A and B are shown apart, each in its own frame.
Chain A
Amino acid sequence: MRSEVTAAIAGAVLLVAGLPVFAHHSGAAEFDSTKKIDLTGVVTKVEWTNPHAHFYMDVKDASGNTVNWNLELASPNVLIRNGWKRTSVKPGDTVSVTGIRAKDAPNYGSASLITFPDGHKLNFTSAEEPAK
């Protein structure tokens, strides 16, 4: 029972009004939860850094031009404790990403869910399946 309550609280903590929880700033001040992104592309760079990990991805826009997106994750500390590894997303990986867009920067978003071609998924704070 207690673990169920704890899980419910954790779930509530993880997502506030559609926004991921950030450790050191208001998510609502940076991202617009109504502006969704749905991207597929090739990872070009990973920054395994605090206060947030980032990965960058080349995505072709509607005109066929390649745009490099900057996508934010939780901190490495949160990710590692939740099953991520620093190599869970690597340059050269083709991934699909859903998330939300920054209010005040183009091609910048918060990655809610990352899906790989083999179907395994990672999210903003956690490896839903064991990292490969």
Chain B
Amino acid sequence: MSQQGNINALVIASIVSAAALLAVVSLLAQQAPAPGQNDSKGKAASKTEAKTGNVGLYRNQPLAPTGPVVKLADGTVDLSGVWLGGGGSDADIANPRSLKAGDQVIMLPWAEEVVKNRQSKEDPEANCLPAGIPRGSPYPWRIVQTPTHYFILFEGNIHSFRQIFMNAKHPEDPDPTWYGHSVGHWEGNTLVVDTVGFNDKFWFDYKGHPHTEKLHTIERYTRTDLGHMAIEVTIDDPGTYTKPFTTIGRATLMPGQELMEYICQENNQDLPLLTGPARGPGGR
């Protein structure tokens, strides 16, 4: 991948991301929580007993609350907060445990050949480039809702963000980008995000499952209770897979947590030390 060695592009991307993130965070700071609205400071936690437990990699975290979801003044579900998890298996997107029952990931022959030949050090994620959709991460993320735009702020995933244009349409011929062009709408209590216009650069997982610019994703976010969100992502890429498949995941609210800075490019000493074929964290 030619972009992986392009330090100038990385620096520019970092600056642009940082500036955009600053703008989003400024917007967030101006949004006062509605009465009863759950924010990340832990109002929700007050509904649970004061217990802690492990959440992902993180120990002694306040457990996620389980009360009913809260709605915003416009009647839509409040998804705001700091969440962990919910993506596909970052080790292997074809792992049946993170797929909808009965779904299979069947590659076209060219894609099988690509996976066989990819090397770990080529993984965009290892190069501090975006992990795309729906690759999981051990770092938390936040949803910010405004009337016209929703934002997903990633702590990991190179500290970048996605923007979702609510009740909007895709452009006719979007320029291919890492996160594509996302439009959102509500179906009952489920936020549906439709994305096209991806580039073909990110990998779905450590194993290197690829995609083409024909990729079309449909994400369905359903806050099942105050502390949990079911996330389904349908991946439709007829350029790479014989049929669509859907990943299933569940995100957990992290009461009391805030996103932290994560500038992956700062000290990525690992890249030159990565050896061998693309594979999962445990080597398979």
Contacts and interface: CB of A to CB of B under 8 A. Distances in A.
Interface of A: 2-3, 6-7, 9-11, 13-14, 16-17, 19, 21-30, 47, 49-52, 54, 70, 72, 74-78, 80-83, 102-105, 108, 125-126
B279 interface: yes
A25 to B, nearest CB: 4
A125 to B, nearest CB: 6
Given A16-B282, A47-B267, A80-B260, A23 B138 contact: yes
Contact of A22 (B60, B278, B279, B281): B281
Nearest to A125: B57
A9 to B, nearest CB: 8
Contact of B55 (A6, A24, A29, A126): A6
A24 B120 CA distance: 11
A47 B121 CA distance: 23
Contacts of A50: 261-264, 266-267
B63 interface: yes
Contact of A103 (B126, B273, B282): B273
Which of A7, A16, A21, A23 has the most chain B CB atoms inside 10 A of its CB?
A23
Interface string B261-280: 11110111111011110111
5 contacts: A21-B57, A28-B280, A81-B61, A102-B273, A126-B59
Contacts of B120: 25-26, 29
Contacts of A9: 54
Contacts of B279: 26, 28-29
- For the residues of B in contact with A, the DSSP-based class is loop
B155 A77 contact: yes
B267 A49 contact: yes
A27 B126 CA distance: 11
A72 B268 CA distance: 11
Contacts of A30: 270, 273-275
Given A23-B156, A82-B59, A7 B53 contact: yes
A51 B282 contact: no
Given A3-B53, A30-B275, A102-B273, A19 B283 contact: yes
A104 B51 CA distance: 44
Given A19-B282, A24-B126, A52 B57 contact: no
Given A16-B282, A51-B266, A52-B267, 18 more contacts: A2-B53, A7-B53, A7-B54, A13-B56, A13-B57, A21-B57, A22-B281, A25-B206, A26-B278, A47-B267, A51-B267, A70-B269, A72-B270, A77-B139, A80-B260, A82-B58, A82-B59, A105-B273
Nearest to A10: B54
A74 B58 CA distance: 12
A26 B92 CA distance: 12
B232 interface: no
B123 interface: yes
Nearest to A82: B59
Interface in B55-76: 55-61, 63
Nearest to A108: B273
B137 interface: yes
